[in-house]
Amino acid sequence: MKDKATSFDIAYRAGVSQSTVSRALRNSPLVNEATRTKIQAIAKELNYKVDKNASNLRTQQSDTIALLLFEDPTNDDSAINPFFLSMLGSITRACSNKGYDLLVSFQQASDDWHADFEDSNKADGLILLGYGDFVDFEEKLVQLTEQGTHFVRWGAEVEDLSLVSIGCDNFQGGKEVTEHVINQGRKNIAFLGSASSHAPEFFDRYKGHCEALKSHNLTVNPELQFNALYTEEAGYKAACRLIESNESFDAICAASDLIAIGAMRALKEHGKSIPEEVTVAGFDDIAIASFTFPPLTTVKQDTKIAGEMLVESLLKLIAGEDVSTSLIKPELVVRKSCGE
Amino acid sequence: MKDKATSFDIAYRAGVSQSTVSRALRNSPLVNEATRTKIQAIAKELNYKVDKNASNLRTQQSDTIALLLFEDPTNDDSAINPFFLSMLGSITRACSNKGYDLLVSFQQASDDWHADFEDSNKADGLILLGYGDFVDFEEKLVQLTEQGTHFVRWGAEVEDLSLVSIGCDNFQGGKEVTEHVINQGRKNIAFLGSASSHAPEFFDRYKGHCEALKSHNLTVNPELQFNALYTEEAGYKAACRLIESNESFDAICAASDLIAIGAMRALKEHGKSIPEEVTVAGFDDIAIASFTFPPLTTVKQDTKIAGEMLVESLLKLIAGEDVSTSLIKPELVVRKSCGE
DNA sequence: CTGAAAGCGCTTACAG
DNA sequence: CTGAAAGCGCTTACAG
């Protein structure tokens, strides 16, 4: 491998100063047209690329965004949650489109992740994405804000904290899907998913769920809510508890598709037909949802739009513009798991 | 936001020189224990982080790897292929474990992607991942090699090119799955997937497929091979062509799970029962494969191991060690789409 | 329009 | 064990 060319090499060949080379390569209008053309030709010929470490050091910005995907530590080695994987893809694409590079990092318990990337000048800003106990997480958000770090996060809006969140309107989504289930004639509807401030997204979906029940004059039976977090296994177990509880139920609204899929597995094992005996609905619309049997009725969170909004909001924030928290509209996707 | 602290700020507070600060923070054995402790305490207090641009510029390395995911340009805005998405996740995790950062970039037609990251000193090496016409792609690989870029790629081994590839033993996988189908009593087995050097992975799977047929004294009928590339839609269309061809067939081996899923859709639409009338097998074992109806028998490519091997091989390469191309063992995953 | 020069914040050979 | 100094490769105010 030959040594990399520097701007001095180009200057030498072009018979100009290194400053002029730098200007020409940045398309500065200060530089003479002919000189610029010549310099750019030489640069191309030498396969020259501006050294990003040097230019970033000089300009104190990196044109790079860091994506921190934090996960439940219990979930160590297993597959990444498909919804977040899809977000990862969409954010990567949105960054490419904006000419930014994306540094991706998975975070576990490490307690100083919050600042590393921006403080070490590797990224101009951060996108936070993931799950885990929100109460623990909140402290870190406060720290980040205090340090003046530029960041946006995916998730539910947080009261009393002035940070930019992009999230799905979970309340609305939970309400719409439950209304659909009610319209299919179901009355005893269980909710599988944690309903506490430790998992605010799920909690909002549950609140929307309850709202739908109330507005249709159905009673909210707390015995029909079972906690479950982020895995298919959690959904399976919650459904087993529901079945063994002897509460009567004819429908399940799950706080996520993965939970719904686990619930379907439990129902099948217990000989319950879907959707005849029990209908099942999910949330997220991950790719798998179209392929379950029966295909899963769910609420789509548009990851493509979400990724674009996260990136755009962060870039505005970095540019010093005002950015407001915003909600993405959920969309009911009717398949067959709640009847035709 | 207060200004970031530099090593000079720390030096000032600690009453030592900046060189000593730098040494202490890098845990150099040269530095006195007490001095080091003191300096590190101050650094922590000031929330100091080494400026990576400066240190990378100085050391000429970045502790960063770039992942280039190139895609078929026709596939512009749709979802990313789930198999590659899963690889992305596993590579990210493997990098984290090794203490490297990962720069992710999607590449389309752009014709000078090959060098950008390493030449601009943003990354120490490259991982190439993706699909598209291999013949076009090959030229770029040659260029990369000539420039002395450090890179590894996921994919089939390439003769005559000395580059490091990590890939699945596609021949073996194609052979095993076909043998399974034969053992289920099927004789007229169609293959859905391109069989040409433009898609070497698929081609190898097809070769393994043919080998299995031959070794069981079944004739290879070229009329039963239909081209299809990387999408569910392509699989659907190929299966339609198969059905309309009036060739008789009782089984389909697909070159990927996505193709298999598309084929299942076509079969169902044409009223063919799976697995009774036609069995279907895929390749990859993407997450969706367990949830199709019936669940898809397929060949697993272990993305977790693959990601680790790609990262480890690249790090060795960067360190100047010899690395050999290697193959990952495929694993037959029997579900119900080929009968019990 | 161009050049000489300073400086971004580190790491590390050199000298002690 | 520690410090003074050079230098990594750029960008950009300053002077012309």
Please give the Cα distance from A125 to A295 (Å, whole number). Answer: 39
How far apart are the CA of B78 and the nearest CA of chain A, in angstroms? Answer: 9
Chain B span 60-79 residues with beta carbon within 7 Å of strand D: 60
Mean pLDDT of chain B: 87
Q: Which residue has the higher pLDDT, A67 or B74?
A: A67
* Structural domain for A38, as ranges: 7-50
One domain for residues B183 and B198: yes
One domain for residues B126 and B198: no
Closest CA to B209 of B199, B221, B198: B221
Q: Which residue has the higher pLDDT, B97 or A187?
A: A187
**Model confidence at B79: pLDDT above 70:** no
Residue showing tokens 């390395």: B61
**Model confidence at A259: pLDDT above 70:** yes
Mean pLDDT of A201-220: 96
Please give the Cα distance from B281 to B180 (Å, whole number). Answer: 10
pLDDT in tens, B33-64: 888 888 888 888 888 888 888 999 999 888 89
Please report, for the domain that includes residue B116, its CATH number: 3.40.50.2300
Give percent of chain B with pLDDT exceeding 70: 94
Let me know if residue B333 belongs to a domain: no
Structure tokens at A131: 């799950």
Residue B78 confidence (pLDDT): 56
In which band, very low, low, confident or very high, does the pLDDT at B117 lie, cut at 50, 70 and 90? confident
Q: Strands, E, within chain A: which ranges?
A: 64-70, 101-107, 125-130, 151-154, 164-168, 189-192, 225-226, 251-254, 279-281, 298-300, 326-328, 331-333
One domain for residues A186 and A283: yes
Å: A261 CA to C16 C1': 71
Q: Which residues of B touch A293 (CB under 8 A)?
A: 291-293
Domain count, chain B: 3
pLDDT in tens, B156-169: 777 767 788 899 99
Structure tokens at A242: 């529901």
One domain for residues B130 and B71: yes
Cβ proximity of A96 and A104 under 8 Å: no
Let me know if residue B141 belongs to a domain: yes
pLDDT in tens, A14-48: 888 899 988 988 888 888 888 888 888 888 888 88
Please give the Cα distance from B141 to B143 (Å, whole number). Answer: 5
Contact (CB<8Å) A106/B121: no
pLDDT in tens, B259-284: 999 999 999 999 999 999 999 999 99
- A45 lies within 8 A of chain B by CB: no
Give, in order, the Cα–Cα distances in Å from B80 to each of A83, A257, A299, B54, B323: 13, 19, 20, 36, 30
Give, in order, the Cα–Cα distances in Å from B182 to each of A61, A169, A329, B134, B279: 60, 51, 49, 31, 11
Provide DSSP, A28-56: -TTS-HHHHHHHHHHHHHTT----HHHHH
In which band, very low, low, confident or very high, does the pLDDT at A112 lie, cut at 50, 70 and 90? low
pLDDT in tens, A305-322: 999 999 999 999 988 888
Residue B238 confidence (pLDDT): 97
Let me know if residue B33 belongs to a domain: yes
Residue B93 confidence (pLDDT): 85
Shortest CA distance from B120: residue in chain A: A51
Mean pLDDT of B128-138: 77
**Model confidence at B179: pLDDT above 60:** yes
Let me know if residue A336 belongs to a domain: no
Mean pLDDT of B199-211: 95
Let me know if residue B55 belongs to a domain: no
In which band, very low, low, confident or very high, does the pLDDT at B29 lie, cut at 50, 70 and 90? confident
Closest CA to A310 of A163, A105, A122: A163
CA A217, chain centre distance (Å): 35
Name the CA radius of gyration of chain A, rounded.
Answer: 26
Please give the Cα distance from B259 to B206 (Å, whole number). Answer: 14
In which band, very low, low, confident or very high, does the pLDDT at A145 lie, cut at 50, 70 and 90? confident
Residue of A4, A48, A49, A284 for testing the chain B interface, max B β-carbons within 10 Å: A49
Residue B1 confidence (pLDDT): 39
In which band, very low, low, confident or very high, does the pLDDT at B76 lie, cut at 50, 70 and 90? very low
One domain for residues B180 and B268: yes
Q: Which residue is nearest to nucleotide D9 (CA to C1')?
A: A54
Q: Which residues of B touch A119 (CB under 8 A)?
A: 4, 47-49
Window from A304-308, A312-316, B11-15, B208-212 with minimum mean pLDDT: B11-15
Cβ proximity of A309 and A166 under 8 Å: yes
Residue B3 confidence (pLDDT): 64
How far apart are the CA of B317 and the nearest CA of chain A, in angstroms? Answer: 14
- A120 lies within 8 A of chain B by CB: yes
Residue B115 confidence (pLDDT): 56
- B120 lies within 8 A of chain A by CB: yes
Contact (CB<8Å) B89/A92: no
* A234-258 core/surface letters (b: 16 or more CB in 10 A; e: else): bbbbbbbebbeeeeebbbbbbbbbb
Residue B177 confidence (pLDDT): 97
Residue showing tokens 């260029």: B143
In which band, very low, low, confident or very high, does the pLDDT at A209 lie, cut at 50, 70 and 90? very high
Let me know if residue B1 belongs to a domain: no
Residue A3 confidence (pLDDT): 63
**Residue B176, by phi and psi: left (phi above 0), alpha (psi -120 to 50) or beta?**
alpha
Let me know if residue A40 belongs to a domain: yes
One domain for residues B204 and B311: no
Q: Which residues of A touch B65 (CB under 8 A)?
A: none
CA A47, chain centre distance (Å): 37
Contact (CB<8Å) A119/B49: yes
One domain for residues B308 and B294: no
One domain for residues B122 and B233: no
One domain for residues A289 and A175: yes
Mean pLDDT of B329-340: 93
- A75 lies within 8 A of chain B by CB: no
Q: Which residue is nearest to nucleotide D8 (CA to C1')?
A: B58
One domain for residues A201 and A296: yes
One domain for residues B204 and B282: yes
How far apart are the CA of B119 and the nearest CA of chain A, in angstroms? Answer: 6
Structure tokens at A142: 């406060």
One domain for residues B280 and B201: yes
Mean pLDDT of A190-215: 94
Q: Which residue has the higher pLDDT, A314 or A340?
A: A314
Structure tokens at B329: 């063992």
**Model confidence at A1: pLDDT above 50:** no
First to last CA, chain B: 64
- B109 lies within 8 A of chain A by CB: no
* Relative orientation angle of helices A82-98 and A303-318, to the nearest 10 degrees: 50
Mean pLDDT of A233-250: 94
Structure tokens at A325: 């928290």
Contact (CB<8Å) A148/B85: no
Among A54, A102, A288, whose Cβ lies nearest the Cβ of B103?
A: A102
